[in-house]
Amino acid sequence: MLVDVTTWSLETKDPSELRPSPAPPEGVELRQALKPTPELGRFLYTATGGNWYWFNRLGWTYDHWLEWFSLERVEVWVMYSGGTPAGFFELDGGVEGDVEIAYFGVMPQFLGQKLGGWLVGEAIRRGWAMGARRVWVHTCSLDAQPQALANYQARGMRVFKEVTEPMEVPEVTPGPWPGFQGRSEVSKVEERLAALGHKVPVPGAPIANFVNTVRTGNLVFTAGQGPRREDGQYDYVGKLGKDLDVETGRKSAELVILNCLGVLKQEIGDLDRVKRVVKLLGMVNCTPDFTDQPKVINGASDLLVAAFGEAGRHARSAVGMSSLPLGISVEIEMIVEVA
């Protein structure tokens, strides 16, 4: 299956840039594996990344793992919760002055417990302790948990490179062991959208000092999204009632809600996990005498109902604005409940 994959490279060049996450709950600890074995390495790799298209090391032989772990500047640190492995990070200091967070992840059973932010912070701290002048990482829309990009940025790391290119990937993720039915890259929600001619886009990084999504309990709040294309440019710029008609505004709202679904997918991994679309705030850039804001935002609402059925029916506000960032015609915020 050919899919577009976005890879982000992030870095931090000064220890003072670290924004640590709150300490984890009691019973969570971090230990270095002083003598990491191939068995441990493969377990951490498959148990953490099996649901996220981590497949680069699946073909490694036992001797390859041994050779890798024999390198002096490679470190493995394991996070435990209640004595059970809950996540890990692997550091590679093989390039002088650089320490790469080569792998990082929280195991599926421990996601949603606010452990990832603390673990990233500890990985960055350890990178500086190894004598780094720069700590860096790359993450992509396939090989890491979907909230990874926002997590790295929240800890003070900055994107210095972003590349999107097509990649051939299996229909399902490899899973934690052979024979396990992994997660399909395309959810039923996305299949329904594809049948209507729509694609959930890969989101870009936020354009200012904020994150695309925040999760609290079972609710996910998206930041306001606009009619952004995957190349980073914006369509449907202008005012309703002056530059654009209602039908064009509906198309803008459709693109905006697809971008909302893109950042939501980045947060939760699988849009089939949505239990209910709770609320939309739809903002329309319009002239003072324009009164068809509800018809414009119906472009988003109708698409959500088509994608999610009854779970897509939501409370909503549709309001007019004298202007919106970058002159865009529509901006939408969304709140959803997830499983």
* Percent of the chain scoring above 90 in pLDDT: 67
Pair (207, 123) in one structural domain: no
Pair (107, 7) in one structural domain: yes
Two tokens, residue 276: 């209910």
Pair (132, 247) in one structural domain: no
User: In the prediction, which pLDDT does 144 show?
Assistant: 55
Pair (178, 197) in one structural domain: no
Pair (141, 213) in one structural domain: no
Residue 304 near residue 271 (C-beta atoms within 8 A): no
Boundary residue ending a domain (185, 212, 229): 185
Averages of pLDDT over each 10 residues, the chain, 339 residues: 86 95 92 97 93 88 97 97 96 95 90 86 97 95 68 93 87 75 68 88 79 91 93 92 96 96 87 94 97 97 94 96 96 95
Pair (42, 95) in one structural domain: yes
Pair (48, 155) in one structural domain: yes
Q: How far apart are CA 4 and CA 142, in angstroms?
A: 10
Boundary residue ending a domain (185, 202, 235): 185
Two tokens, residue 243: 């530059």
Range of the domain at 159: 2-185
Two tokens, residue 283: 């903002």
Gyration radius of the chain's alpha carbons? 22
Q: How far apart are CA 157 and CA 19, in angstroms?
A: 9
User: In the prediction, which pLDDT does 204 show?
Assistant: 75
Pair (68, 9) in one structural domain: yes
CATH code of 156's domain: 3.40.630.30
Residue for token pair 């088509």: 306
Number of domains composing the chain:
2
Boundary residue ending a domain (124, 157, 185): 185
Pair (156, 16) in one structural domain: yes
Q: How far apart are CA 262 and CA 257, in angstroms?
A: 9
**Strand 2-12 vs strand 134-140: parallel, antiparallel, or unpaired?**
antiparallel
- SS3 string of the chain? CEEEEEEEEEEECCHHHCCCCCCCCCCEEEEECCCCCHHHHHHHHHHHHCCCCCCCCCCCCHHHHHHHHCCCCEEEEEEEECCEEEEEEEEECCCCCEEEEEEEEECHHHCCCCCHHHHHHHHHHHHHHCCCCEEEEEEECCCCCCCHHHHHHHCCCEEEEEEEEEEECCCECCCCCCCCCCCECCCHHHHHHHHCCCCCCCCCCCCCCCCCEEEECCEEEECCECCECCCCCECCECCECCCECHHHHHHHHHHHHHHHHHHHHHHHCCHHHEEEEEEEEEEEEECCCCCCHHHHHHHHHHHHHHHHHHHHCCEEEEEEECCCHHHECEEEEEEEEEC
Pair (238, 290) in one structural domain: yes
Looking at the whole model, is its pTM more than 0.85? no
Pair (180, 326) in one structural domain: no
User: In the prediction, which pLDDT does 151 show?
Assistant: 85
User: In the prediction, which pLDDT does 181 show?
Assistant: 57
